[in-house]
Amino acid sequence: MKITKDLYRGSLTLLTDFYQLTMAYAYWKSGKAEEEAVFNLFFRKNPFQGGYTLAAGLDYIIDFCSNFKFEQDDLKYLKEMRNADGSATFEPAFIDYLQSMEFSCDMEAVEEGTVVFPHLPLLRIKGPLVQCQLLETPLLNIINFQTLIATKAARIVYAAKGDAVLEFGLRRAQGIDGALAASRAAYIGGCASTSNVMAGKLFGIPVSGTHAHSWIMSFDTELEAFKAYAEAFPDKCVFLVDTYDTINGVRNAIEVGKLLRESGKEMIGVRIDSGDLAYYSNIAREMLDAAGFPDVKIVASNDLDEQIITSLKMQEASINVWGVGTKLVTAYDQPALGAVYKLAAIKNDKGEWEPKVKVSQQSIKINIPGIQNAIRFSKNGKAIADMIYLEGEDLTSAQYIIIDPVDPTKRKKINTIGLDEEFLLKPIFINGQKVYESPDIHQIKKNSERNLALFDKAHKRFVNPHIYPVGLEEKLYELRTQLVFKMKNYDGA
């Protein structure tokens, strides 16, 4: 799949912060543009006060990087940029340098549908400093959003306890791609379908939908409207029953359901989109059962999220299918994941990698230096802990101690005998060449299911979830501590 090239016209290479270009220019002026660097993309807190995060967006990124190239109109725009005094912002030779630039980085990343946690590297890029910088902003844009929505979807699907969750957020999503990318991520996170036809066409996601209130209002009576719909879609009748009065709506649906049955068809469901969903769904269930329609499903919608679905389940609402929109596609209660992208190492004049750290007064904001990977230990199909370690480290030890990146008194001993091990970062690009074949979207969805099954339900509850252990291998912890001390002394703090 070529998402960005299929969806967008021309180049997306300028989809970056202007400071990436001013830095690119200044790196180029300083002769540092081609210095090799390693950057890590990670986040510091699970969203929604939850216990886990579900990674998504990699396929967009593969496509973005595969098409990373300054096109003529990009270069023209940059060439015409002016300083306040009318002089050109960028020298012509720099424009030529951009024109000749080709994506040549190594990239490793966690696969889509992988359960991830704070501090783990989600993506690691190694290559010329200037390319790593230019890619920072689009990589963050794509991963931040799709990961956020996949996680939100997984939570909502978890709350629905096996019932189908239909995503229909297009009308309230944040922009056109805000909707498309959300539909994609929501499917990865476990939704059964989307209402967004273009997402269906682009990504191969199942689409679903029946009719709106306006369908009913365009007829003289609701009964007439239901009958007309049944004529067009005798096999797909889910009647929206709350345009005027929900109980009367169910009555009309039953009447048309009986007509359908006479012609050998069965009504599929009724949908309630307003009012007290617990109360009305139970009345609808009783009416349908009494009328001989025990298999007709009740679809509910109206600003649903995992909390409201949980509450409706507790109230024993008779709802079988959940339609979710706004709260899912905007991740309403936390509309941004704060993933960041930090310089982890740079190659010095002697060709040696120097690990890099950014000091901060907030301990949680100190990054993890060096070229890292992460390993997930599991036993009998249950994940035990993740260890972040320095690439090249000898991993044959029978025992590790992992140390929490924020609170070093939190440590966990891991005896590796009998444990399964999975390396979380997989090679995606080598020297700019793609070496990874993206699974199709249905396989990615299965990967999410497989991943989520690895984790205990204690990590999945919505209130005060159990914290999954992720720690630094001892040598990495030591390196980081020494570097922080050095930087603090160095700057006199």
**Binding to a copy of itself in span 164-183, by CB under 8 A:** 168, 170-182
Region for residue 243 given its phi and psi (left: phi exceeds 0; alpha: psi -120 to 50; beta: otherwise): alpha
DSSP helix/strand/coil, 93: helix
- Smallest distance, a copy of itself to C-beta of residue 161, A: 24
The CB-side HSE value for 11 (13 A sphere, CA atoms) comes to 14
The stretch near a copy of itself (CB under 8 A) out of 109-117, 118-126, 156-164, 237-245 is 237-245
Stretch that binds a copy of itself, among 102-110, 225-233, 378-386, 456-464 (CB under 8 A): 225-233
CB of 177 or CB of 473, closer to a copy of itself: 177
Q: Closest CB to a copy of itself among 137 and 307?
A: 137
Binding to a copy of itself, residues 270-329 (CB under 8 A): 274-275, 326
C-alpha–C-alpha distance, residues 470 and 119, integer Å: 8
> C-beta of 298: minimal distance to a copy of itself in Å?
17
State in angstroms the smallest separation of the CB of 6 from a copy of itself: 6
Question: DSSP per residue over 311-354, as a string?
Answer: HHHHTT----EEEE-HHHHTTTTS-----EEEEEEEE-TTS-EE
Q: Least Å distance between CB 107 and a copy of itself?
A: 17
Q: Does 16 bind a copy of itself (CB under 8 A)?
A: yes
Q: Tell me the window of 97-105, 334-342, 414-422, 451-459 that interacts with a copy of itself (CB under 8 A).
A: 334-342
CB atoms within 10 A of CB 320: 17
Mark the segment that binds a copy of itself (CB under 8 A) among 27-35, 101-109, 113-121, 441-449: 27-35
- Is residue 316 within 8 A of residue 265, CB to CB? The reply is no
> Residue 128 corresponds to which tokens in the numbers above?
């010329």
Is residue 187 a contact point for a copy of itself (CB under 8 A)? no
Which span sits near a copy of itself by CB under 8 A: 17-25, 105-113, 413-421, 423-431? 17-25
Q: How far apart (Å, rounded) are the C-alpha atoms in residues 167 and 164? A: 10
Which one, 14 or 385, has the nearer CB to a copy of itself?
A: 14
Contact between 265 and a copy of itself per CB under 8 A: no
Q: Is 200 in the site for a copy of itself (CB under 8 A)?
A: yes
> Binding marks (x or -) toward a copy of itself, 350..389, rule CB under 8 A?
------x-xxxxx--x------------------------
Contacting a copy of itself within 406-445 (CB under 8 A): none
Min CB(202)–a copy of itself separation in Å: 9
Residue environment code for 466-487, b if the CB has 16+ CB neighbours within 10 A, otherwise e: eebbbbbbbebbebbeebbeeb
Binding to a copy of itself (CB under 8 A) within 135-154 occurs at 136-138, 140-142, 144-145
Does 30 engage in binding with a copy of itself (CB under 8 A)?
yes
Beta strand 340-347 pairing with 36-42: antiparallel
Under rule CB under 8 A, how many of the chain's residues touch a copy of itself?
A: 113
Structure tokens at 318: 């008779």
State the angle between helix axes of 129-159 and 58-66 in degrees (0 to 180), rounded to the nearest 10.
Answer: 150
Among left, alpha and beta (phi > 0; psi -120 to 50; other), residue 237 is beta
* C-alpha 178: how far from chain center: 12
| Contacting a copy of itself within 43-102 (CB under 8 A) | 73-74, 77, 83-85
